[in-house]
Each structure stands twice: as structure tokens, then as C-alpha cells.
Amino acid sequence: MGSTGQGAALTHGQIAMALRLAWQDSGAVHAGEAASGDAERAEGAAASARPEPRLARAGACVTAAVVMSGALVASGITDFGVNSAANGTRMPSAEGAGGSIPRTGTAADAHQGTETRQERTTMFDKLTGVAAATAVGLSAAANGQGVAVQWRVQDGGNGHWYQRIEAGTFVTWNEARSGAESRGGYLTCPTTASENEWIWSTLIQPASSGWDGWIGLHQLEGPEPFGGWKWVSGEPTTFTSWCGNQPDDSNGLEDYGHYMTIHGPGCWNDIRQDGSYSGVHYIRDFFVEWSADCNGDGIVDYGQILDGALPDSNTNGVPDCCESGGSCCLGDILADRVINGADLGAVLFYWGPVTTAPTSRACDLNDDNVVNGVDLGILLAAWGPCAG
């Protein structure tokens, strides 16, 4: 899930324009003073209030290049050549879209006399390369949380995420339930025939043991063997997929459900809480399902954790923002339901290592304890009103 559902990202043309304007403005601030006719005042103001013009301009271009490269990485573009063969779009170069970048005033020109196109291009390439490598590494880490699979809506699914957990040893139903909940989910509850078939074909059939894992079905009360079966999710048990002659409570106290596919694709059996039958233990796996959408954006939170859209620093399967009560709209630093220049200003103000200031922490969008170009790229990619 690469999209966060938080509004359209800035276009490549907008990013290129930001780069050109940053370059222009950094040179023009001193040229404007010189153009006023008071060269002595301009020189004094530059010396006392600003860095040397060449350095100021270089600093502005560093920021702009990192912003742009971070945004491109966040948008999924990794070809940083001037001409992108993948999308047929000419990417911004140091020369700008229309030839040489215009400069205002002779004072700025004097300070730029020794600057070459090669120097600018080399600096730009290094900056974009660093930002790209950082973002790709973070993306790989964010997606390294297991083999959870989404039953996608476009495939006829419900958008939930599922995972088969192989405990490596015999596991009771209660242990499996706790294990699922500690991951931010719950034991899988296949409430329809299509969901049950998808679980069977996607998670069970490729590695079936015949005595497959626990599901979120348990018998609370009611006449044996069919009465009182409930899903841990609270959903109705209008659909069932019992194996032939099941449930039967044949071993007594068989009040818990699991897949037992030695008797058929995707069918269920009832068994004791410890997963034993006639004193022999059988169950080693369990299935986890995630459906929570704490920020109401129409996307299951767990998928946004996996793709890095919602940080989960304590790895409990619940987005940090849902636990803290903050905004779950990534990039909405000021929590006003829109990502705009105010949020961008906050990121630039708190640039560098995260401090004890709450806003500094909020600016660290990828939770790596530093506010840098990657955080700017994430913010720009989510620019606009928050969804939901």
C-alpha cells in the first residue's frame, strides 16, 4: 500500500519550480539591495545579517535539492537522471527548464563568476543519491515485518490483512489469542465462504500440515455440539465450514475451532483449548487478522504500518498516533487536518537531530530521530487536506 490516502502529491513540475525559485531567491536577496543604489549599505547588511552570498545560495540549493529528491523517492521515482526513460518526463537539471537560471542584479553575478555547471550538477547528484539511498533503506525496513497478506478490495476482498504465525511448538488457543492481540490484531474470523476460501488458498494450502492453525472461533455456552459458537471479533456466525461430522465434542470440552484440512479444503474442527486429542497435541500455528482503522481514512492501519505511512515504534501493530491521541494524518505536524506551508515551516525550523520539543518529535515523520530530507519528502508526498 503505497498510498496514504492523504491527498495528491506535488507534481514533478511543482518540485522543479521550488528548486529553481530557491536557487533564484538565494542569489537575489543580495542583488536586490545592490540594485537599490546603495552598494555600501548592501555590503554592510550582507556582512552583518546574512552569510556570504555564495554560501547562502549554496545552502538554499542544498535544502531545495534534498526536498526535491526526498519527494521523488516518496513518490516512487528512483531514476534521477535528467531524462527519465520510465515516464518520459524531463527531470529538472541545474540549468532549469528554460536554459540558464535567471539571476537578478550584478552583485549576485559577481559572486557567481567561478561557479560552473559541473559543480552544480555534481552537488545535485550527490544529494539526490544520499536521499534516495536513505529512503529506500527505510522502506525496506518498514516492509520487513513478516509475511502478512492483504485480501484486497479490488480482488473482491475486505481490505483486511492476514498472517499465518508458525509458533514452532505446540500452542494453546488462549496463547494464540494473546499472540494475535499482542500484534495488534485478533485470531482470524472467516465469516463468509469467499473469505474462508481465500484464507485456504493463500495461507494454508501452500504449507498445509493437515492439522492447521487456530482461528477465532470458540464455544461459550449452548447445547453440544452446535450451540454457542462465537467469533472473537463479535461478528455473527451465520457462515460455518465444519469438516464432515464436525463439531462433535467427541473428546469432551472441545470448545475451540481450528483448520483441519486433512478432511477437506478450508474446513474446521473442534478441539480442546490445549490443542490435544486423546492426549496428543497437534496445533502449532495460528492465524492473525487485522481490520482496525483508528484514523477513519478507509485504509486498514496495519497496511499503513507495513508501508511506513503510519509509524509503529513499539511494534505492537497499532499506529503510534492512535495510541498517543495525535493526528494520524502523516505530515500534519500542526494537527489542523491539512498538510501545508505551516507544516513545511515546522520541518525546516526543527531541521537536524530531534530535540525534546514536542513539535521537533512530530517533525520526525519516519521516526529515525533526525529531521531531514526524507521527512520533507514524506510531507510533500502527502501535501493537501487529510483524508477521512
Q: Give the tens place of pLDDT for each residue, 289-325.
A: 999 998 888 899 999 999 887 889 899 999 988 887 7
CATH number at residue 263: 3.10.100.10
Dist. CA 7–CA 386, nearest whole Å: 6
Residue type for position 146: G
pLDDT bucket at 22, cuts 50 / 70 / 90: very low
pLDDT(255) > 60: yes
pLDDT at 354: 94
In a domain, 298, yes or no: no
Higher pLDDT, residue 149 or 322: 149
pLDDT tens figures, 168-218: 899 999 999 999 999 999 999 999 999 999 999 999 988 777 788 999 999
Range of the domain at 376: 311-385
Is 3 domain-assigned? no
In this structure, what CATH number is given to the domain that contains residue 380?
1.10.1330
State what percent of residues in the chain have pLDDT above 90. Answer: 43
- Closest alpha carbon to 145 in 199, 183, 177: 183
pLDDT in tens, 89-147: 333 333 333 333 333 334 444 344 444 444 433 343 433 333 333 333 333 333 323 48
- Tell me, yes or no, if the pTM score tops 0.85: no
By mean pLDDT, which of 27-36, 157-166, 193-202, 279-288 is the weakest? 27-36
Statement: residue 39 has pLDDT above 50:
no
Q: Do 127 and 193 reside in the same domain of the chain?
A: no
Could you tell me if 111 and 169 lie in one domain? no
Whether 202 and 247 share a structural domain: yes
Please give the average per-residue pLDDT across 367-381, as a whole number: 92
Give the chain's mean pLDDT.
72
Say yes or no: 123 and 58 in one domain.
Answer: yes
Question: What does the pLDDT read at residue 60?
Answer: 46
Does residue 154 contact residue 208 with C-beta atoms inside 8 Å?
Answer: no
